[in-house]
Amino acid sequence: MMQCGLVGLPNVGKSTLFNALTESSLAQAENYPFCTIDPNVACVCVPDIRLSSLANAAQSKEIISSQIQFVDIAGLVKGASEGEGLGNQFLAHIRQVDVIVHVVRAFSDEGITHVHGSIDPLLDIDVIETELLLSDLQSAERQLSKKHKGGDNRETTKALLERGVRYLQNGIPLHTVSWSSEEYYQLSKLGFLTAKPVIYLINISEKDMLNNTVPYQKKILERTHGRPVVWMSTKIEAEVVQLSLEDRILFLKDLNIHCTGLERIIREVYDAMGLISFFTVGPKETRAWTVKKHAKAPEAAGCIHSDFERGFIRAEVIFWEDYVTYKGELGAKSAGRMSTEGKDYIVRDGDVILFRFNV
């Protein structure tokens, strides 16, 4: 399952956000017995409004969402790369995750200490990114100094590490550099923290959220160079998840907010990771699956079971809107909205797919 790490300085709102995420998944845990929650890891259902429309059309007994894990990686402080505050342990946790959600404090509250004395989101971003960068630099230099024993890729890896070191020495995080997909794959295997996709989550005050103001917008957008940024109030998120589903909708409508913070984060995570969803629909269950953008039909079949991929014959595909409009498979089929696709078919976000395969 994909893992997102919540990273940031102390007292920026990571735990508040993590608890809101955990609450939102606990509310659904009844339907997801396999959803184990440990103090620092929460499995969260990926919200997708298409699921209930599809389940309605197919009269499915059950809805099964995709899931994402969020990990609260608390305790990163200035000096972490030198081992400060158990720094290396936290950095090792970050190495495990697929995407980093960098929580940055933009709310002021006299009662809650800021580790550097004042609210300065740009400085917070710099402090954390410097630690990740220094950790990568140490790791690259360590790997370069090792005597490489054989291996076909020795020279390529060495050249890649040397290039990485040059960027890192100039303060450039590796995910901001354009690498070929092969290079990027190699860098990820080498465990570089700054090569991971990052989403910046700017934690603003309830007042700013209610007034629809976006503090530090210009400066933050300049600093983050087009990478995804989400402004939200983790405190409001924590309140929203305490409400029943009906009250939640009313509450958000009152605040003129169209979707919850969780929905916005997950959308950015899917975008940053280049992921899409497809569905399998039937009387037993309506289920969402996650695949990489541009995945072909057999790869999508493989998400369900490796036998489906191996024995793939064809895919019968209905776009989700057609499935809903024509009230199910039969209706869509008689309206000419079902296509039969072969192994080169590229799956679209929102496809309802029935795989035919040999066992």
Q: Point out which residues bind ligand GDP (CB under 6 A).
A: 8, 10-16, 74, 107, 109, 112, 203, 205, 233-235
Cα(328)–Cα(313) distance, integer angstroms: 23
Residue 277, annotated ligand binder? Answer: no
Q: How far is the CB of 202 from ligand GDP (least distance, A)?
A: 10
Q: How far is the CB of 26 from ligand GDP (least distance, A)?
A: 18
Q: How far is the CB of 82 from ligand GDP (least distance, A)?
A: 21
Cα(199)–Cα(210) distance, integer angstroms: 23
Alpha helices in the chain (DSSP H): 14-26, 49-58, 87-96, 121-145, 154-169, 181-189, 206-210, 217-224, 234-240, 245-254, 261-273, 297-304, 306-310, 320-325, 329-334
- List of residues 6+ apart from 129 with CB closer than 8 A: 173, 194
Which is nearer to ligand GDP, 13 or 302 (by Cβ)?
A: 13
Q: How far is the CB of 264 from ligand GDP (least distance, A)?
A: 15
Q: How far is the CB of 237 from ligand GDP (least distance, A)?
A: 9
Which is nearer to ligand GDP, 17 or 295 (by Cβ)?
A: 17
What is the β-pairing status of strands 198-203 and 229-232? parallel
Residue 292, annotated ligand binder? Answer: no
Which is nearer to ligand GDP, 121 or 302 (by Cβ)?
A: 121
Which is nearer to ligand GDP, 76 or 161 (by Cβ)?
A: 76
Residue 12, annotated ligand binder? Answer: yes
Structure tokens at 331: 């209706």
What is the β-pairing status of strands 275-281 and 285-292? antiparallel
Structure tokens at 113: 């200490």
Residue 118, annotated ligand binder? Answer: no
Which is nearer to ligand GDP, 107 or 192 (by Cβ)?
A: 107
Residue 347, annotated ligand binder? Answer: no
Cα(227)–Cα(176) distance, integer angstroms: 9
Residue 156, annotated ligand binder? Answer: no
Known binding residues for ATP are: 11-16
Return binding residues.
11-16
